[in-house]
Amino acid sequence: MIRRIKIEGFKSLQAVEVELGSLNLFIGANASGKSNFFDALRVLQGIGYGFTIGEILDGKPKSANSDVWDPIRGGSARAAFSNGAKADEIRFDVRIELGLGDHATADFCVSFDPAEGVLTEESLNVGGTRIYSSADIENPRGQPYFEVRRAPGRASRPPHYKFDRTRSVLGQFARSNHCLDQHRPAVSACLRALSNTQRIDPSPATLRDYSTAQSVKRMGERGENFAALVKTICADSGTRDAYASWLRQLWTSEAIEDVSVLHGALGEPLFAIRERGKDQPAPVLSDGTLRFAAIAAAFFQPDRPDILTIEELESGIHASRVRVLVELLRSQSKTGNVQVMATTHSPIVLAWLNESEFATTFYCDRDPTTAASNIRPLTRVPDFLRVLNKQPIGELFAEGWLEGAL
Give DSSP secondary structure letters for 104-154: EEEEEEEEEETTTTEEEEEEEEETTEEEEE-TTS---TT-SEEEEEEPP-S
Q: Are 199 and 309 within 8 A, CB to CB? A: yes
H/E run at residue 376:
strand 373-377
- Over residues 342-398, the pLDDT tens digits come to 999 888 899 899 989 999 999 999 999 999 999 999 999 988 888 888 888 888 888
**What is the Cα–Cα distance from 131 to 25, expressed in whole angstroms?**
33
- Over residues 233-263, the pLDDT tens digits come to 999 999 999 999 999 887 765 667 789 999 9
Residues in the chain, overall count: 406
**What is the Cα–Cα distance from 13 to 8, expressed in whole angstroms?**
6
Going by pLDDT thresholds of 50, 70 and 90, the confidence category of residue 283 is very high
Residue 146 bridge partners (DSSP): 163
- How much is the pLDDT for 406? 66
**What is the Cα–Cα distance from 334 to 321, expressed in whole angstroms?**
20
* Closest CA relative to residue 152, chosen from 175, 178, 188: 178
Where do the domains of the chain lie, and which CATH numbers do they carry?
Answer: 1-196+305-406 (3.40.50.300), 202-304 (no CATH)
- How much is the pLDDT for 405? 66
What is the side-by-side order of every strand in the sheet holding 307-310? 197-200, 307-310, 339-343, 23-28, 361-366, 373-377
Rounded to 5, what percent of the chain is helix, strand, coil?
Answer: 35, 30, 40
**What is the Cα–Cα distance from 255 to 41, expressed in whole angstroms?**
41
